[in-house]
Structure 1
Amino acid sequence: MAEKDAAAGGAEAPGGAAKPRDPRAERLAAQLRANLKRRKEQAKARSASEDEPG
């Protein structure tokens, strides 16, 4: 069970997410950050267009 916890990020740093140890994890983390940024921008654009009259 300890292996599962470690793989799921059980040993996280106090300030945030666990630091990726391998290149694949680093790539995945970068893709997740880019995806989150893109989705936030899309949500802002959606809410801005809903706020416009007409």
Structure 2
Amino acid sequence: MTDKTGKAAPKGARGERLKQALRENLKRRKAQSRARSQPVTAEERGLDEAAAGGPDDSKR
């Protein structure tokens, strides 16, 4: 439908974009939550400390 200005009804398109964005956000948050619940191995912990300037980098 169009209104008096000749523009198409944006609320439907906006609603669809919002619905899609919310769906993608939920998927991303679920994936992050799953990744956080995974146990971290000692090797990964060592790599994370080195990348973050852990104890090994503080010896100057």
**How would you bin the TM-score normalised by the shorter chain?**
0.5 to 0.7
The Cα of 1:52 is off from its aligned counterpart by 0.3
Tell me: higher relative CO, structure 1 or 2? Use CA pairs within 8 A at least 6 residues apart: 1
How many percent of aligned residue pairs carry the same amino acid?
Answer: 18
After TM superposition, what 4+ stretches of structure 1 lie above 3 angstroms from structure 2? none
In proportion to residue count, which structure has more helix? 2
> Which residue number in structure 2 is paired with residue 46 of structure 1?
32
Residues 1-54 of structure 1 correspond to what in structure 2 (within 5 A)?
23-54=9-40
Ranges in structure 1 where 5+ consecutive residues have no aligned partner: 1-21
- Alignment: residue pair count: 33
**TM-score w.r.t. length of structure 2:** 0.52
CA RMSD of aligned residues (A): 1.1
Ranges in structure 2 where 5+ consecutive residues have no aligned partner: 1-7, 41-60
Deviations 1:7-51 (A, max 9, x none): xxxxxxxxxxxxxxx631100000000000000000000000000
Instruction: Tell me the SS of whatever aligns to 2:39.
Output: coil
